[in-house]
Amino acid sequence: MGGAGTFVVARWRPVQQHPVAGFLLPCQGDFMAASAQKVSRYTPGEWRNLRLGLLFVSPWVVGFVVFTIYPLLASLYYSLTRYDLLRPPVFLGIKNYTTLFFDDPHFWNVMGNTIYYVGVSVPLGVGSAFIIANMLNSRVVARTFFRGIIYIPSIVPAVASAMVWDFLMNVQWGAINGLLRFFGLPVIPFLSNPAWSKPSLILVAVWANGAAVVIFLASLQDVPRALYEAATVDGANIWHRFRNVTIPITSPIILFNLIMGLIVAFQEFTIPWLLTQGGPMNSTEFYLVHLYRNAFAYLRMGKASALAWILLFIIVVFTILVFRSSARWVYYGGDK
């Protein structure tokens, strides 16, 4: 070994072989080697800059460690304990996890409810947002007005939305059922029948999907006009242009909305809690509602922490699956 410089260069050399491109990147390699050499020879001024830099980022680092890393690790520990806040935690190993999977009378029902909700609300939400965005991207009358109207639900506080939907969908005095009754039609027990409760909550979720519409709108406005013109010249009709130009070009945004939708749907809490509190007959007991109930109604912090970690695992798995599938249907221009 011929000193630090030699060591650093030798260490960095494998990086020069690009794992994907499969060819050497001499410039990149030289730059990295040079940078790495510098690390070992900081001048006093650079050390000062480093200290200052660390000092300036320290509020964020401290906040991240105290408010994110510590609670994360603490919840991992608590998930292995029996902890009710009132007494010190008692270590149980993986018992909370095995109890959830094999002995909990609610867990699989909750999983079923959540998968149903995610499986229907996310595709429906993304699909409807995409269609609405396309409609709003065309030359319709009062386009600005409609754009505003579509976005408003996503900025209405969840509690206010819940109150409005409760009023609309109540089986006794709800406005929708009032209309049905007026026309002599049978009423719909939106929130009070187990068969209707989940579709009703999905309806509320899709209604409040204005943010996805706005993101789609922005992406639609970035689709090069030239592509549509070229497609038109080649004889493409409106469906062909939509199918072969609009969807591929906006597919990265569809992926983004799909993943964000998945993450949000798995963690749905506010609207179900306010509208149905998990009922009727546990039909809207979604994952986070169940987690909340375990943590704050039954004070089973250990079990609730285990539920949280299982949820994290589920979301990560679903996200990976969607990312993996994206290789088949997401178009990244020349960078695929």
Question: For 186, which DSSP code?
Answer: P
> Phi and psi for 187 in degrees, rounded to 5?
-80, 160
Question: What residues contact 97, with CB distance under 8 A and at least 6 apart?
Answer: 79, 306, 310
Q: How far is the CB of 163 from another protein (least distance, A)?
A: 7
Q: How far is the CB of 181 from another protein (least distance, A)?
A: 5
Q: Which is nearer to another protein, 247 or 299 (CB)?
A: 299
Handedness of CA 77, 82, 84, 85 (dihedral sign): negative
Q: Which is nearer to another protein, 67 or 298 (CB)?
A: 298
Q: Which is nearer to another protein, 147 or 293 (CB)?
A: 293
Nearest to 109 by CA among 271, 267, 290, 262: 290
Q: Which is nearer to another protein, 22 or 105 (CB)?
A: 105
Q: Which is nearer to another protein, 186 or 235 (CB)?
A: 186
How far CA 288 is from CA of 104, 170, 266, 309, in Å, comes to 16, 24, 8, 12
Q: Residue 188: count other Cβ atoms within 10 Å of its Cβ.
A: 17
Q: How far is the CB of 68 from another protein (least distance, A)?
A: 19
Nearest to 302 by CA among 22, 3, 95: 95
CA distance 173 to 182: 12
Question: What residues contact 247, with CB distance under 8 A and at least 6 apart?
Answer: 254
Question: What residues contact 143, with CB distance under 8 A and at least 6 apart?
Answer: 136
Which residues in this chain contact another protein in the complex, by CB under 8 A? 52, 55, 82, 84-87, 90, 99, 103, 105, 163, 166, 170-173, 177, 181, 186-187, 189, 191-194, 275-276, 279-282, 295-300, 303
Q: How far is the CB of 132 from another protein (least distance, A)?
A: 30
Q: Which is nearer to another protein, 241 or 300 (CB)?
A: 300
Question: What residues contact 335, with CB distance under 8 A and at least 6 apart?
Answer: none
Q: Which is nearer to another protein, 116 or 196 (CB)?
A: 196
Q: How far is the CB of 87 from another protein (least distance, A)?
A: 6
Q: How far is the CB of 56 from another protein (least distance, A)?
A: 10
Q: How far is the CB of 86 from another protein (least distance, A)?
A: 5
